[in-house]
Amino acid sequence: MSSPDGDHDAVDETRLLLSFVRDRDVLCPLCGYNLRNLTHARCPECREELALAVSARNLRFGWFLATITPGLFSGIAAGFLLIPMIGTTIASGGSPPWFIVVLDAFGWLSGIFALLLIKYRFAFLAQRLTVQWTWAALAWAVHVAVFAVLVALIFLS
């Protein structure tokens, strides 16, 4: 059951929205239609219901994307690496070399870390840019180091 205050708030929000777009060129966030002189809180072009909201003017996703990229790549690669590992184990009866198993485990953990970071992206984005840059540099440094160790192990075996 809705309260009278809730209904009043919705009416106020609609009134504020219509007042805001009355003399401004504001585009519908879904279809880009110009909402100037709007008479209802719904886009006349795409019929999307509109709401007045406060948002950040310029969200900066660059360091966030730079941080999750190596983890997502490693997670996907770990999934593909698992297929020949299982095939080799079934066909030969033996197990893959230990460093391949460790590499695959690293890929899975890295992918899980990237997915968790995506889940908590707003906490990441709330950090100062220097902290975001540090996380991105650390993620790349760890992945480059693991790749270098893998290459060294392959050439040494």
Write 130-139 long-range contacts (CB < 8 A, 24+): 132/63, 132/64, 132/67, 133/63, 135/63, 135/67, 136/63, 136/66, 136/67, 139/66, 139/67, 139/68, 139/70, 139/71
**Average of per-residue pLDDT across 44-71:** 88
Instruction: Say yes or no to pLDDT of 137 above 90.
Output: yes
**Has residue 77 got a pLDDT over 80?**
yes
pLDDT, the chain, mean: 88
- 141-157 pLDDT, tens digit per residue, is 999 999 998 888 878 87
> How confident is the model at residue 98, as a pLDDT?
83
As a whole number of angstroms, the distance between CA 37 and CA 149 comes to 63
> Domain boundaries in the chain?
1-55, 62-156
Q: Which has more confidence, 116 or 2?
A: 116
Write down the pLDDT at residue 8: 64
pLDDT computed for residue 121 by the predictor: 93
Asked if pLDDT for residue 33 goes beyond 50, the answer is yes
Contact yes or no for 95/101 (Cβ under 8 A): yes
Q: How far is CA 80 from CA 17, 33, 58, 118, in A?
A: 50, 44, 37, 22
All residues at 6 or more sequence positions from 129 whose CB lies less than 8 Å from its CB, including other chains:
60, 63
In the numeric block, which tokens belong to residue 65?
């994307």
3-state secondary structure 12-80: HHHHHHHHHHHCCCCECCCCCCECCCCCCCECCCCCCECCCCCCCCCCCCHHHHHHHHHHHHHHHHHHH
Looking at residues 88-92, what average pLDDT do you find? Answer: 86
Q: Please count the other Cβ atoms lying within 10 Å of the Cβ belonging to residue 67.
A: 23
